[in-house]
Structure 1
Amino acid sequence: MRVGLTGGIGSGKSTVSGMLRELGAIVIDSDLLAREVVAPGTPGLARVVEAFGPEVLTPEGAMDRAKVGAIVFADPAQRQRLESIVWPLVREASQALAATAGPDDLVVHDIPLLVETDQQSSFDAVVVVDVPLETQVARLVGDRGWAEADARARIAAQATREERLAAATHVIDNTGSIDDLRRRVEELVVELRA
């Protein structure tokens, strides 16, 4: 079974992803792959430098994620430019990992921008980790130390809550306790394996 997992920034998607891994799912983390495909020495990083200039590199030659983030989250055209470089490489790496799974494995593709990249039809099920907008903002400000304006800008750069929910076959409400969340994830695994 191939499952797409998504949720807005600050929704707790990464926590759910970790719980799914603990419960035996094979989790393919698109954020991790997105870092790997632009690691120093990769063709992906060379293309990013070609598109955005050498000023997006750290002194050590890695991609300066903060600089790139400031560029792409301020300009939708620049964000699309970056995505057109990174996401095809991520999909290719993701497909290679998924090909190693057995027929009975639960394969979860953790994709923050699943809806934005219109991938929902690629999966047997789409799980959305959901919280209200104000909860996202509060978590980004409180847990990550972001300025409220930065949190709202990053949220606005993603699909809306309504767009994600419209793509969902399963919704995990993450407004309760961690124990509530764990119970819901355990129930989800049972549903998906049924």
Structure 2
Amino acid sequence: MYLIGLTGGIASGKSTVSKILSELGAFIIDADKLSHNVTKPGTPAWREIVATFGEAVTDINGNINRKRLGQIVFADAAARAQLEAITHPRIEEEVQAATVAAQQQGYKILVLDAPLLIEVEWYTRVDAVWVVFVDENTQIVRLMMRDNSTYEDAMARIKAQLSLCEKLKYADVVINNSKTIENTKKQVLKFWCEISNEGRTGK
């Protein structure tokens, strides 16, 4: 089994690269999706989040309003640490379960798609760290357009994460997503072929 740790800054295009890798035959473990799963209404994590941050962070159906919660934690490092203490251990359990499931299904290349791969030190558990990179101006514009957020909100979210320049220091592979999707695909395919030439393929 070969495990790729895929990360990048918010709105850098990590999901695009993850989709390309999936199409090539990799098994994707999406930490963001697992985060949604462990915080569904009624779960232990959901109860702890509501107890910590109040019912104002839920919507009319009881789901966590991630935008509202984000406005709290991205502006307050202590609040962010509280949230991470609630969610990260549970997400890690889900990651481990997904890894076992992928191995049982016969996958040889797995991708751990995790925005905080480096911050929570999961990078120490992967075979290669892939960082998706864009310049900060592009990142800001994409984030504002994607989430219909203000410049201030976008910057708060970006600054809450380790900078892309810092993440590059941990990278074994850098995917520059500043240009066209075709350009990004070429880069991913190049590194995928290098893995395959070493005797590793998808399922």
The question of whether the paired residues in 2 share the 8 Å contact of 1:21 and 1:27 is answered with yes
Q: Distance in 1 between matches of 2:147 and 2:64?
A: 21
Q: Distance in 2 between matches of 1:127 and 1:63?
A: 30
Shift of 1:20: 0.6
- For normalisation by structure 2, the TM-score amounts to 0.91
Q: Distance in 1 between matches of 2:163 and 2:37?
A: 27
Question: Which of 117, 138, 141 in structure 2 is aligned with 1:114?
Answer: 117
Equivalent position amino acid for 1:84 in 2:
A
Gaps of 5+ in 1: none
The question of whether the paired residues in 2 share the 8 Å contact of 1:115 and 1:163 is answered with no
Q: Does 1:75 align with 2:76?
A: yes
Q: Does 1:153 align with 2:148?
A: no
Shift of 1:104: 5.4
Q: Distance in 2 between matches of 1:57 and 1:145?
A: 20
Q: CA RMSD in A?
A: 1.3
Aligned 1:167-182 pairs, distance under 5 A: 167-182=170-185
Q: Runs ≥4 in structure 1, deviation > 3 angstroms?
A: none
- For normalisation by structure 1, the TM-score amounts to 0.95
Residue of structure 2 equivalent to 1:134: 137
Q: Does 1:124 align with 2:149?
A: no
Shift of 1:117: 1.2
Q: Distance in 2 between matches of 1:90 and 1:53?
A: 22
Equivalent position amino acid for 1:113 in 2:
L
Q: Distance in 2 between matches of 1:65 and 1:46?
A: 15
Q: Does 1:5 align with 2:6?
A: yes
Shift of 1:144: 3.5
Change (3 A) 1:184 1:111: same
Q: Distance in 2 between matches of 1:26 and 1:86?
A: 23
Q: Distance in 2 between matches of 1:192 and 1:81?
A: 38
Change (3 A) 1:23 1:127: same
Gaps of 5+ in 2: 199-203
Which range is displaced more, 106-115 or 54-63?
54-63
Q: Does 1:87 align with 2:88?
A: yes
The question of whether the paired residues in 2 share the 8 Å contact of 1:39 and 1:62 is answered with yes
Change (3 A) 1:131 1:43: same
